[in-house]
Amino acid sequence: MKEKSRFRKKDVIIILSLVIFAALSFILIYLVLPKTGDKVVITVNGEEYGIYPLSVDKEIEIKQIDKTNIIVIENGEVYMKEADCPDKLCIKMGKKSKGGQSIICLPNKISAEVITGEDKYDSIAQ
Amino acid sequence: MTASRSKKVATLALFLALAMILSYVEAIVPIPIPVPGIKLGLANSAVLIILLLEKPGDALLVSLVRIFLSGLLFGNAFSIIYSLSGGILSFVIMFLAIKLIKLHPVTASILGGVFHNIGQVIAACFILGTKAVLYYIPVLLVSGIITGALIGIISNEIHKRIGGKILI
Q: pLDDT tens, position by position, for chain B (168 residues)?
A: 567 899 999 999 999 999 999 998 988 887 888 888 888 999 999 999 999 999 999 999 999 999 999 999 888 888 899 999 999 999 999 999 999 999 999 999 999 999 999 999 999 999 999 999 999 999 999 999 999 999 999 999 999 999 988 888
Instruction: Say whether both A96 and A80 belong to one domain.
Output: yes
Instruction: Say whether both A79 and A112 belong to one domain.
Output: yes
| B77-99 helix and B43-52 helix, angle to the nearest 10 degrees | 30
CATH number of domain containing A50: 2.60.320.10
For testing contact with chain B, the best of A20, A85, A104 (most B CBs within 10 A)? A104
Domain tally, chain A? 2
Instruction: Say whether both A66 and A16 belong to one domain.
Output: no
Look up the domain containing A15 and give its range: 6-35
List of chain A residues whose C-beta atoms are within 8 Å of the C-beta of residue B101: 10
Distance in angstroms (rounded) separating the CA atoms of residues A38 and A22? 28
List of chain B residues whose C-beta atoms are within 8 Å of the C-beta of residue A89: 34-36
CATH number of domain containing B146: 1.10.1760.20
pLDDT: is A34 or B145 the higher one?
B145
Instruction: Say whether both A84 and A48 belong to one domain.
Output: yes
For residue A6, how far is the Cα from the chain centroid? 39
* Closest chain B residue to A10, measured at CA: B103
**CB–CB of B92/B99 below 8 Å?**
no
Instruction: Say whether both A58 and A103 belong to one domain.
Output: yes
**Number of CB atoms found within 10 A of residue B49's CB:** 24
Instruction: Say whether both A109 and A86 belong to one domain.
Output: yes
Instruction: Say whether both A103 and A69 belong to one domain.
Output: yes
* Closest CA of chain A from B35, distance in Å: 7
Domain membership of residue A14 (yes or no) is: yes
Put simply, the answer to whether A106 touches B142 (Cβ < 8 Å) is no
Put simply, the answer to whether A106 touches B136 (Cβ < 8 Å) is no
Distance in angstroms (rounded) separating the CA atoms of residues B76 and B74? 7
* Closest CA of chain A from B55, distance in Å: 14
* Closest chain A residue to B29, measured at CA: A87
- Write the secondary structure of B113-151 as one string of H (helix), E (strand) and C (coil): HHHHHHHHHHHHHHHHCCCHHHHHHHHHHHHHHHHHHHH
Domain membership of residue A103 (yes or no) is: yes
pLDDT of B147 reads: 96
Backbone angles phi, psi at B35, to 5 degrees: -130, 130
Put simply, the answer to whether B129 touches A46 (Cβ < 8 Å) is yes
Put simply, the answer to whether B36 touches A104 (Cβ < 8 Å) is yes
* Closest CA of chain B from A97, distance in Å: 13
Instruction: Say whether both A24 and A49 belong to one domain.
Output: no
**CB–CB of B155/B49 below 8 Å?**
yes
Instruction: Say whether both A48 and A23 belong to one domain.
Output: no
List of chain B residues whose C-beta atoms are within 8 Å of the C-beta of residue A111: 128, 130, 132-133
Domain membership of residue A76 (yes or no) is: yes
Chain A, chain B: beta-carbon pairs less than 8 Å apart: 101
Domain tally, chain B? 1
The average pLDDT across A3-32 equals 90
Put simply, the answer to whether B107 touches A11 (Cβ < 8 Å) is yes
Domain membership of residue A1 (yes or no) is: no
Look up the domain containing B158 and give its range: 5-165
Instruction: Say whether both A70 and A115 belong to one domain.
Output: yes
Domain membership of residue A108 (yes or no) is: yes
* Closest chain A residue to B138, measured at CA: A26
Helices (H), chain B: 5-28, 43-52, 56-74, 77-99, 105-128, 137-162
Instruction: Say whether both A53 and A67 belong to one domain.
Output: yes
Domain membership of residue A105 (yes or no) is: yes
List of chain A residues whose C-beta atoms are within 8 Å of the C-beta of residue B141: 18, 21-22, 25-26
A118 pLDDT exceeds 70?
no
Reading across the β-sheet that carries A110-115, which strands appear in turn?
Answer: A47-53, A39-44, A110-115, A102-105
Instruction: Say whether both A90 and A102 belong to one domain.
Output: yes
Domain membership of residue A11 (yes or no) is: yes
* Closest chain A residue to B54, measured at CA: A2
A69 pLDDT exceeds 60?
yes
A126 pLDDT exceeds 50?
no
